[in-house]
Each structure stands twice: as structure tokens, then as C-alpha cells.
Structure 1
Amino acid sequence: MKKCSACQKVLPVSAFARNKSRPDGLQANCRECAAEYYRERQEAKGRTVRVKVPVPRGHKRCPQCEEVKSHAEWERNQTSSDGWASYCRPCRAERNRVSYFQRKYGLTPAELDAMIAEQQGICCICLSAPAGHVDHDHETGRVRGVLCFSCNAALGQFKDRPDVIRRAATYVEGNAWKPTLVAPGVYQLPS
């Protein structure tokens, strides 16, 4: 048992945090008084402190969706104090998605949604599949639009070269001439 210097209550030792610099190895104030002091100091600085919500054992509260979920819905993180990620799997995936589009293309979720809505939610090239992949110029980084996976991959395979894409279109339309054999091992390409 130990007496808290702030609230003057005699509490069990488990109610005090550790402090190696003190003779008894414990803080002078109990955990509740220390938390209240911390909250007051943060509010004085104009910051807010999250309210601690009690959760059952084997569960954790997500600060984004504010739901208490079982540990099965969390990623492991050995560097955190409790061994679990800060956000549940769905919230973490959404945060990573938002962060990726902001970092890679400079797009906010609202801007990306506006681009997709402008295209009526379909790919600009095939006009049939849902748009879900941001297409950009690899040299300048400028975003051109939102395409389906297949069309975006096709542009990548053609290395964004319009001349190759035109030849591919001509080939698919059946208008391309085949190379003619001029001499053994020598072919003449169509002009």
C-alpha cells in the first residue's frame, strides 16, 4: 500500500506507475492522478486527449472507427507496447490507401472520387470495366485518369508509347501488313 501525494488516498502498489529514480521505485502520484494532470496540461496547450475506454481482455479499441474488436481483427506489431497495430485491419487498409494516393499521386480521397464520378465509374479506354487504377505519365507524374486493371496494365506494357499503341491498334484491326521475305533471312517491314 502507498499514499498518493495528489489525492491523498492509500492505494495498492499496482495503482502506481514505475519510476526508477524514486527510492521506492514508484511514481509519487497514482495512475489516475497522473492521467488527470497530463490531460490538464495538454488542454492548457490547446490539445485534446483521447478518453480511455475500458475494453475486455483479448480486445482492443480502434481510434478511427471507435469500435472495440477482438485481437483477431488486428495485425501484430512487436514494436508497440501491447503487441498489436494501432488501427484495426479495415481502418488500417483505408488509411494506407489514402496515404498511398496522397504520397504517390498527390490525390485526396475526394479528388479521386471526383475523377471516378466524372468518368461515370467506368474505364476511359474499354468503357466497360469499373475504374479503380490511377493512370499517370511516368515521365511527368501527371495523373491522366482512372482505368480498369487490364487497360492500365496494357499501357504499362506498351511503356506509354503512342506509336506502339497505334501499331497495336492497326494490328488488331487487321490492317497491318506482314513483313515480306526479300532474301533468305532478310525481311522488309511495311512502311
Structure 2
Amino acid sequence: MGGTGKVPLMRSKRCSDCGEIKPATEFWKNKSSKDGLAYYCKPCFRLRNSRSYRKGQAKLGKVPRPYRSLSDVPEGMKYCPSCRETKPTDAFGSNRAEKSGRAAYCRPCHNKAMAEIRARNHGSERNYLLKLRYGVTEERVKQMIAAQGGICVICLRGEPKHVDHSHLTGLLRGVLCFKCNGGLGQFSDDPRCLGDAADYLEFDGPHAYRMTLELGVPAIDGHAHRRAGVTLSGEKVRLSGSNRQNHLRRRYGIHEADARWLLDLQGGWCAICGDAPAEHVDHDHETGAVRGMACGGCNSGMGQFGDDPLTLRRAADYLLGQLVKEISLPGGVSRLSFTLPDVDPATVPAGGWEPHREADGRHRRKAWKEGDGEGRAWVDLCLEKIFAALAESAGRRRAG
């Protein structure tokens, strides 16, 4: 074997440090040694490296963490170098870049480290999320809130905390309160549905007309109906004693047969949007009057907007781009306007929006409901402009 130049294979070897005889697999390879293996076993080799590393760190005035052997970690566990605790592997997030398939830090430490990095690079966690989701900074959002007079532009009551954007174009529209922002989502950003919901609440829509034809009134007085002892179809009430029957009687003053009658009257569809199955009994929270059956989105959306037709119409105009406008002032500056008649947001004191809100509601109700269908035609025209702008934007993207 003298002319081959190959190192003879060994089954075991004595470690020069610990003096133990161990299998050859417990030694790193070393071509410069006679047997092709390192002089020290792997644990001793790591210990030597650790001493060398800590000696160098001490010269730099640093205090590294105590040495920890890999063999100290049981099967199915992993050591977190941040909190210095050994935890189950499930406590670590996934990371395909790591050999173990798990992140280096446990989830709490990983989240803390990411927050520190974002704060260091972007100023704050909120600033990072605003730039990531909407492409604006926290300072820009503060400027938008100040331009709005520190009020939600839709309801003119809530505190603006949530940045709102178009899910179609990605463009920012304003800063809203929690309820208005959630309400737009429940109505799927549909201005027509918002306008129909306002009519529905004022008993001035097709559903109220059907109810009046069938019952003589646009809504059901739950308390009086409970005392009558008959269903809406005129039959004598038969109590089933089921949980649903008890819930309907206790909360709305109607019976299970009444709910089925309403569903039949509506063809099974929502009384507001007409696009989704009616699943919820809708009622006035103040009077208890049952107005009809609504889908989950419309029922929740009206609740988010406080069952307020004024706010619903303002929300519809907001989506149509007819609520918030920019007015140019002398000196090359501008300000926002979002009420009719126009009022400078900077001149309205805290808690002083209610008179302007009521006056605006009268103007918008007239624009939506009067003029022999001009209000609906105006909505259609606004929507047509929005869709045309979207088509033009898509065409530019394809051309680019």
C-alpha cells in the first residue's frame, strides 16, 4: 500500500485531550496527520475552539455567554441563544435556510429581535408596517390626520386611527375611525349598497314597499306582535320550544314561522344588497322594530355605521370620490373640505362637528333621493369614471 499515498482507515483512536478511545467518526478529518484524523475528538475540539474564542473576546473587553456543548440539548429540543433556554422545537418558527429547518431564535425572541431591527431601521414598528402596506410614513399619516381636523371624515365623530386604501388601485383615501373602516369592508366598498342601506333604514326602498303592501307597515313591532299570539301569515302561534324559537321571541318578538315568512317575502335573499342569502334578523336596537332579513355583511356593516343613514351616504360618497375634496387657497396652499356646506376643518373645535354633520346629511339626502332619478344617475356616472380610470391604469401597466 506504500505507493498509493492513501491514509490507512482506522476504526478507533485515542483523543490527546480527554485520553478516551473513540470511534473514528468522533474525530474531524485532517489530511496533515498520519492517520488522516484530527488529534482531538469533536467535543474536545469544540472546547479548545471555545477557549480560544473567549480568550480573544476577553482581550477586546467583551464577555461572551458561557460555553455550551451541543450534546447538552436532548432530542426534540433546541437551544435559543437569545433567552439561553432549551425549548421544544415547536417553540421555534420555520426557516428553510437553517440546517435544522427551524429559526435560530424561539418565537418570542425572534419577534423581539425583528421589532428591534424594524425600530432601528424604520423608527418604529408602526412606521415599518405603514411603509410596507401603504407606502407612507408615520409622519405623513399624522399630517393627513391634521388636515382632516383630527376627525374621521365619514362619521365626523370617531378618532381617525386606521389608514384606508382602495383594494383595487392601492391608493390611499384617508384616515378613518375603526367603525367606519370596518363598515366599508363589510359592504365590500360598494357605494350603491351603502346608498340602498340608507334608504332601507329610512323605510324608503323596495323592501319597505313590499312590507307595507303585505303588512300595512314597513316594519314589525316585536313587542306588539308577541302579544298578538299569531304569526305574520295569520296562523295561531305554535311554540316549538327550540333554542332558535326562544331566541327569536326573546330578542326580536317574532316566531320561527315569521322568520320563514320574511325569507319567502324576500325570495331568500338579503333585503339590502339582494346578492347574498339572508341569514340574520335585522332590527332597530332602540325601538326593537324588525325591519327584515339581511346577509351577514349588510347586517354587520349597518351596525358598524351605527344604523345611521347620514353616515352611510357619506361613506358612499367617500368611495365615489365625492366626499373629500381639496380647495386651493391664496398663496399656493390648500385645505380639505368634506362637508356641505363647506367648512374649514381647522376652524371646528373638538366636539363641534355635530351641527355641520346634520346640515351635510340634509344636502346629501337630497342629492341621493331627489331630482327624478338624477341622484342614481350621478352615482352611475361616478362609478363609470372610476372603472374607466382603473381600465386606463391597467392598460398602462400592460404597455409598460
| TM-score class normalised by the smaller sequence | 0.5 to 0.7
Contact 2:50 2:67 in 1 (8 A): no
Extract unaligned runs of 5+ from structure 2: 1-11, 127-136, 147-158, 166-171, 176-325, 327-333, 340-344, 346-352, 375-400
Find the partner of 2:163 among 153, 162, 172.
Answer: 153
1:56-82 superposed Cα distances (whole Å, 9 cap, x missing partner): 211112122223221222222232232
Q: Which residue of 2 aligns with 1:117?
A: none
2:139 alignment partner AA: D
CA–CA separation in structure 2 for the residues paired with 1:44 and 1:97: 32
* Corresponding residue number in structure 1 for 2:40: 29
Residue 357 of structure 2 aligns with an amino acid whose one-letter code is E
Q: Secondary structure at the match of 2:78?
A: strand
The CA distance in 1 between the partners of 2:78 and 2:84, in whole Å, is 10
Counterpart residue identity of residue 71, structure 1: T
Aligned CA distance change for structure 1 residues 44 and 19 (closer, same or farther; 3 Å): same
Match of 1:137 in 2: 139
Aligned-partner Cα distance in 2 for 1:55–1:44 = 25
Task: Please give the residue correspondences for 1:1-191 in structure 2 after superposition, counting only pairs within 5 Å.
Answer: 1-19=12-30, 24-45=35-56, 46=58, 47=62, 48-52=64-68, 54-105=72-123, 136-138=138-140, 151-153=161-163, 157-158=173-174, 163-164=335-336, 167=338, 173-174=357-358
With the length of structure 2 as denominator, give the TM-score of the two structures: 0.30
| CA 1:83–1:19: 2 relative to 1, 3 Å | farther
Residues 92 and 102, structure 2, Cα contact 8 Å, conserved in 1: yes
- Asked if the contact 1:74–1:88 (Cα under 8 Å) also holds between the matched residues in 2, the reply is yes
Paired residue type of 2:96: Q
**Residue 28 of structure 1: how far off its partner (Å):** 2.1
Question: What amino acid is aligned across from residue 335 of structure 2 in structure 1?
Answer: D
75 and 3 in structure 1: CA distance in 2 versus 1, 3 angstrom threshold: same
User: Over residues 130-187 of structure 1, what are the superposed CA-to-partner deviations in whole Å (9 max), with x where a residue is unaligned?
Assistant: xxxxx72249xxxx9xxxx96141596338x9823x6365797345577x99xx9xxx
| 1:89-124 residue CA offsets vs partner (Å, 9 max, x unmatched) | 12211211221122111x5x9xx9xxxxxxxxxxxx
User: Where does structure 1 lack aligned partners over 5 or more consecutive residues?
Assistant: 113-134, 185-191
Show CA shifts across 1:38-71 (max 9, x none).
1221122125254325122111121222232212
| Aligned 8 A contact 1:39 1:49 in 2 | no
**Change in 2 beyond 3 A, CA 1:10/1:136:** same
Separation in structure 2 between the aligned mates of residue 23 and residue 80 of structure 1, nearest angstrom: 35
* Counterpart AA for 2:51: E
What is the rounded CA distance, in whole Å, between the counterparts of 2:18 and 2:338 in structure 1?
A: 82
**Aligned residue identity for 2:23:** P
User: Which one has a larger percent helix, Structure 1 or Structure 2?
Assistant: 2
TM-score (norm 1): 0.57
SS in 2 for 1:69: strand
SS at match of 1:92: helix
CA distance in 2, matches of 1:150, 1:51: 52
1:25 to partner: Cα distance: 4.6
Distance of 1:7 and 1:58 partners within structure 2: 28
The CA deviation at 1:23 is 5.9
Tell me, yes or no, if the aligned pair for 2:92 and 2:103 is still in contact at 8 Å. yes
Cα distance in 2 between the residues matched to 1:79 and 1:22: 34
Q: Tell me the secondary structure at the aligned position of residue 14 of structure 1.
A: helix
Aligned residues: 150
